[in-house]
Structure 1
Amino acid sequence: MRIRAIAAAVSGALAHTAQLLLVLALFAAAGGTLTGCGRVAEVRARQVADARARQVADAWDDSEAARAWRKGYHPIGEAVDLPEDAFHDISDKLAYEAQNLALRGQLPATPGKNGRVKWESGASLTLPLMEARQAYEAVARGSNGGPHLTVTGVKLGEMTLSTSRGPATVPAWLFTLDGYDTPLKLAAVRPSKPLTPPVKPVAEGSGDTLQLVRTARDGRSVTVLSSHGACDDGPAVDVLETDGSVVLSASVVGTKEGPCTADLLLEEVTVKLNRPLGDRVLLDAFTGRPVPYERS
């Protein structure tokens, strides 16, 4: 799963490069001189970035997309809950990471077509249930002869995970693993359909430049995966907070002298907020879309 997430982040980072070039063109066209006037260029770039963040916030706040976001089921936490004592040894850990599972027995039929997501506020949402076969294949894609985990039983139960509307109790497939006292859980309902943003991306076809890694328990910070190159000092993420949204703007800082490779680096950046995220929409300034959760 992490390989797919990193691949998505890499794709987004390449789009991010194109977006940065567009930003440079924007403030150069506005009269900034890049050669010999680094400070002027920096100020203009900051102005462009701030204006873009404000544009995204204004478009989303009180929009139909924001209202749909708050009514939907959008996980911002891991859809897989590992056994409490995972893992017993390195072999089991490697087996899980390689998704090398072996099924002993039969998968059960799905009891009904729909399941209910329930929030602490009392709100709920009915969504289609994922069949046991689909759930098993989502965590058991490995097929090599190395270490494996044995699934000895499967049943439908529940799990709690973080969503854009706070903690929710959701239907989950529970996989009993040989040698473990508690099951591996996988959410049995899929997230609501992606929303149509009320604002266009900086560049058409741009990917996700940021991936959400986690939200602090108190909601006062978010950690995102951001990209940068081998010839800079690392990523930076600025934030614009409004009553309805939190807009993150990714960039890179500094440059390094000497030969430069084409390496693409990914780094976690923690952004502190003035108040808890709550049900505000976490947005990427470049794409104009909600920051996707990076599923490991």
Structure 2
Amino acid sequence: MRTTASRTALLLTALALLTAGCGTVTAGSDDADPAPETKDRAHEVAEAWDGSPAADAWRKGYYPMADAVQPPEDAFHNEDDKEAYGRQNFELRGDLPDSKQREGKVTWRNGGSLTLPLMGAQEAYKTVDRTDAPAPRLVVTGAKLGETTLVTSRGPATVPAWLFTVEGYDTPLKRVAVKPSKLPEPPIGPARDTPSEGLWELNRLVETAADGRSVTVLAHHGSCDDGPAVDVLETDGSVVLSGHVVGMKDGPCTSDLRAKKVIVELDRPLADRLLLDAFTGRPVPQGNPDGPSGSWS
């Protein structure tokens, strides 16, 4: 049996494995029928969210579906710089501005806007520079307030961002300067303990395709299986993803939790439909919670 708590406790192991590269598999609605143990739960989650007050609140909020930190356009010049960025190892050689602006506006391309508290330059920098380690490091020499574009749950948006000048690069590193809205109270709780060959919690959303016709997620699996699979249930209001493993094997197994990228093909664009995790009953989180742009969940 695996519980949400035990999965969370093993998350750091999974993240360490991810940095070494873990391959990608593709799943979609034209694959084989969903595993029987995931099908009923997916319908329960969809029915709970579709048309709910929580879904309405979600569609009025700001929930990024892409990384809040964007490297310079010409990154990276060498492997040392790439390593420094991946390890979040920076060095500040200059002053950061103390902006008197306390609010920033998110403006959606398809209409609508939302005013949110603005993150200061110092706070934003601390979310980027999270490691105090020897070289290699990326050197930041200053910053100014600007904006960037970002994919969100309501489509592309223009958002305030701190533009950090990085030594040796012609374009800035951008860090979104507003925090996501608070997640509404989910209308359904997490699944109870399930066998490891049944429903598994997803790790996070990695990417949404530009046309919205596919999403890439990190899905968990163990050491004695052939890897993860992700079933998909699409409704008018949501897309429910059910992670599970395939090819369970007998024999001695290690207890480490692993993760692999899975591309999930959709019948139609995701648009403003909620992307939900069948196990947790919550929207699939975006971003590494311990990384430069932690998830809103």
TM-score normalised by the chain length of structure 1? 0.82
Whether the 8 Å CA contact 1:9–1:211 is kept in 2: the answer is no
8 Å CA contact retained: 2:105, 2:116: yes
Aligned runs of 1:80-91 on 2, under 5 Å?
A: 80-91=69-80
Deviation, 1:121, is 1.4
Q: In the alignment, which residue of structure 2 is the partner of 1:150?
A: 139
* Number of residues of Structure 1 aligned to a counterpart in Structure 2: 260
Alignment-derived partner of residue 190 in structure 1 = 179
DSSP-derived class of the 1:138 partner: helix
Residues 247 and 285 in structure 1, CA contact (< 8 A), matched pair in contact too: yes
Q: 1:69 aligned to 2:58?
A: yes
Q: Which residue of 2 aligns with 1:117?
A: 106
Q: Is the 8 A contact 1:9 1:210 kept in 2?
A: no
For the pair 1:131 / 2:120, whether they are aligned, the reply is: yes
Aligned amino acid, residue 272 of structure 2:
D
Per-residue CA deviation, residues 49-108 of structure 1 (Å, 9 max, x unaligned), is 211111111110010000111110000101111111111111212222222222222111
Q: Give the counterpart of 2:227 among 215, 221, 234.
A: 234
Larger relative CO (CA 8 A, sep 6+): 1 or 2? 2
Does the CA-based 8 Å contact 1:9-1:208 persist in structure 2?
no
Which of 184, 196, 212 in structure 2 is aligned with 1:219? Answer: 212
* 2:155 is the counterpart of 1:166: yes
**Structure 2 CA distance for partners of 1:270 and 1:10, relative to 1, 3 Å:** farther
Deviations 1:129-168 (A, max 9, x none): 0011100111112222312222122100001111001111
Q: Distance in 1 between matches of 2:184 and 2:10?
A: 23
Aligned counterpart, 2:294: none
Normalising to structure 2: TM-score of the pair?
Answer: 0.82
Render the CA deviation track for 1:168-209: whole Å, top value 9, x for unaligned: 1100000001111000000000000012100111128x9953
Gaps of 5+ in 2: 1-6, 15-32, 194-198, 292-297
Q: Distance in 2 between matches of 1:254 and 1:13?
A: 22
State whether residues 227 and 235 of structure 1, in contact with CA within 8 Å, keep that contact through their aligned partners in structure 2. yes
| C-alpha deviation, 1:216, in angstroms | 1.1
Cα distance change, pair 237–13 in 1 and its aligned pair in 2 (3 A):
farther
Percent identity reads 60
Q: Which runs of 5+ in 1 are unaligned?
A: 1-6, 15-42
Out of 233, 241, 248, the position equivalent to 2:241 is 248
User: In the aligned structure 2, how far is the partner of 1:97 from the partner of 1:13?
Assistant: 16
The match for 1:262 is: 255
Question: 2:278 maps to what in 1?
Answer: 285
Alignment CA distance shift 1:168-1:252 (3 Å): same
Q: CA deviation at 1:9?
A: 8.8
More helix, by proportion: 1
Aligned to 1:108: 97
For 1:210, what is the secondary structure of its paired residue? Answer: strand
Cα offset for 1:13? 10
